[in-house]
Structure 1
């Protein structure tokens, strides 16, 4: 068998899209910072050859050192219907089959407490045909019973992952119910403790879980969140998640923003592939320098909206409003290593056409952020019985989704409202909405489409 060459760390590039022109005295500068990682060698793979493996997944033969912990809900509700637990076992087995050789891994069974399903003893196994087979055999011990305390699962995952000397630490979490055996404050404290320690994708199966809990886990741990309404779809979803995790090449990348004296960052938001506000996650890294976490990267591209407030100035003046760079932590406490950078500028002009022109990328992602917000507000209003408020917000969402070309979101909205006129945002609330449809819209409300550059 021909072996793939060992992948290299991706090369990062930074592009800045903005209208740098401000009217006299203007103070707010908006820019879209596009970060692209390429050349990490994440595209290769080979068919799974383990005896008894689920056919289909492709497992890269080489990659950075990595550790993955799978957290599987085993609470009592996983027995309703009984096929749900079987689907979860099959999905976990499919994910294990997708692990490449040499990756450290473990499986946790989660109820109102967390238990080590495989390998046990507070350690991680190293993926190879033997350990994958042992792990899949151990999955037969997964049975439903008990409550739900997601924070305990995450804390055990963090304990297992923290002992691994690896470049990539990742978790996959599956739940089917609400976090009823733990207070919101306890879960929040756990997420705060785990943030920056590992990334985590979270999935809700069925329709009896709380969207804000699952999306909150993914948001805090810089992973993805989604609904798998039909448990039969779990194996495909888990395989896809694991393939993406195996494609990650470098972790702990930060977006570093330097601003000159008198300037300040108003907000920093990831706006593609999903909206994620990073403003409150700033870590000061020196005078007028702040780092914003972006998590793990493979071959991929993401967009960030940066808003800077600068001192007002006279016509003809210009300044560097901010410097955006990607940095990696240095080894053994050394200075972070810069990967790439781009410049955000401000130029004051009396040309009205120049100073009032909105950059297409900025306009597109400002609309996408509003779309995510009005969907959430509309669904919250609907749940609280405010029909007029829900109609207004979801109507605006339909209007935005159409204008922005977000076809997937438009289709999801059409399952919650009857669209009378998409262009004007005229809608009627559907009298009956399938719970899965409403939860899918809420869970995927932050997913965006890229602007056509």
Structure 2
């Protein structure tokens, strides 16, 4: 039985005339992990689709490694899970289950063996049209509307050149709310922003797999994580009082995701934001509310933030506001709010800097990546500093003085890009 808790970190004191309230709401789940037994106990309670790039650019070695990766994922899949494997190139086709068996098979020792045999026969051919892969996955998932836990893994090695950008965007939008999707790019010929847009819209993760030999371990890790999510779906609900303006709702840990545009109304004052499936974990959300200014000494509830499962709130945190004339109180910035605000800026300047570098605007790239080094140093983010060192020479970290590194590999740049939205947990 999953148990959720929620707590708010904020400075609730506002100065005379102050209007904006910022809070970090931490939601923690325990007892939510499936533990590898829940799907087996309730056959068909989860569905998985593995989308493998078999375009010509993958080549024989790449497709063979992708087959091994699919095998690793299938080995981690719990018996009783509904599943399918899709081959994607300029078109998409189900390679398992076979023919008229239906779009999804039930995982067992027999079907696992058959599926592994099927992926060993994959061949590289054709272009890359990820929208068609996602559309087929959606159609597969729509055949089991009673299954609430629906997840896909998408692997690509190239740019989506087989269809217009608008077609890919439309396909992604049609999949939103139908299934979650973790996306991985192998090698250095794919576009991080393109694949990240898919993962972000479908409440998944994006990362780089440096070489084909690394695929199997990554697929096994992703599938284990999916199998552990025992709560199929949840939503963050934010209530603000009449006359208040909700400025934004952002997930800030473990990754940065702006949820503001994903709002669906619960009632006139409450909006719901999708969070996807949960295992045993904590996630942090940054909520910002603008209130009408009040007189010194007055207090007001600024927001009520809750997590709802199956439409029922299971945890709640309150965001408060108090107007004070004491500068010692009103000028404080909550450490969690400050830290996550800095990490959001860090992600943006890294992405902007790498985009400028790719466009040949070295002066802009140097400035942006210098600011990234400065922010990483100031927050003690050693992992990000280490990644930045592979792209720039750091002369003065505190001042953000850097030089673009000659001979920096594209893999290192892409690794920095994909890591930019992963945040360091702020400890209390």
TM-score bracket for this pair, using the shorter chain length: over 0.9
Q: Which residue of 75, 80, 83 maps to 1:97?
A: 75
Q: Which residue of 312, 333, 345 maps to 1:337?
A: 312
CA displacement, residues 174-232 of structure 1 (integer Å, 9 cap, x when unaligned): 00011001111111111111111110000000111111111111100000100001110
Give the structure 1 partner of residue 94 of structure 2. 116
Give the structure 1 partner of residue 263 of structure 2. 282
Give the structure 1 partner of residue 17 of structure 2. 25
Q: Which runs of 5+ in 1 are unaligned?
A: 1-7, 46-58, 330-335
Q: Which residue of 14, 32, 46 maps to 1:40?
A: 32
Q: Which residue of 289, 292, 299 maps to 1:308?
A: 289
C-alpha deviation, 1:37, in angstroms? 0.8
- Aligned partners of 1:62 and 1:372: how far apart in 2? 41
CA displacement, residues 31-74 of structure 1 (integer Å, 9 cap, x when unaligned): 001011111244467xxxxxxxxxxxxx9865782100000001
Q: Which runs of 5+ in 2 are unaligned?
A: none
- Aligned partners of 1:298 and 1:398: how far apart in 2? 33
* 1:76 and 2:56 are equivalent in the alignment: yes
Distance change >3 Å, CA 355–CA 395, structure 1 → 2: same
**Which runs of structure 2 are paired with 1:90-239 in the superposition (5 Å)?**
90-120=68-98, 121=100, 122-164=102-144, 165-239=146-220
C-alpha deviation, 1:431, in angstroms? 2.1
- Aligned partners of 1:439 and 1:360: how far apart in 2? 30
C-alpha deviation, 1:358, in angstroms? 0.2
**Which runs of structure 2 are paired with 1:1-20 in the superposition (5 Å)?**
8=1, 10-20=2-12
Contact 2:377/2:397 (CA < 8 Å) preserved in 1? yes
- CA-based RMSD of the aligned residues comes to 1.4
CA displacement, residues 397-417 of structure 1 (integer Å, 9 cap, x when unaligned): 011112222222111111000
C-alpha deviation, 1:373, in angstroms? 0.5
- Aligned partners of 1:376 and 1:186: how far apart in 2? 25
CA displacement, residues 319-368 of structure 1 (integer Å, 9 cap, x when unaligned): 00010011123xxxxxx211111100010000001001000000010001
Structure 1 length-normalised TM = 0.91
Per the alignment, in what secondary structure is the counterpart of residue 141 of structure 1?
coil
Give the structure 2 partner of residue 49 of structure 1. none
**Which runs of structure 2 are paired with 1:256-267 in the superposition (5 Å)?**
256-267=237-248
Give the structure 2 partner of residue 396 of structure 1. 371
Give the structure 2 partner of residue 407 of structure 1. 382
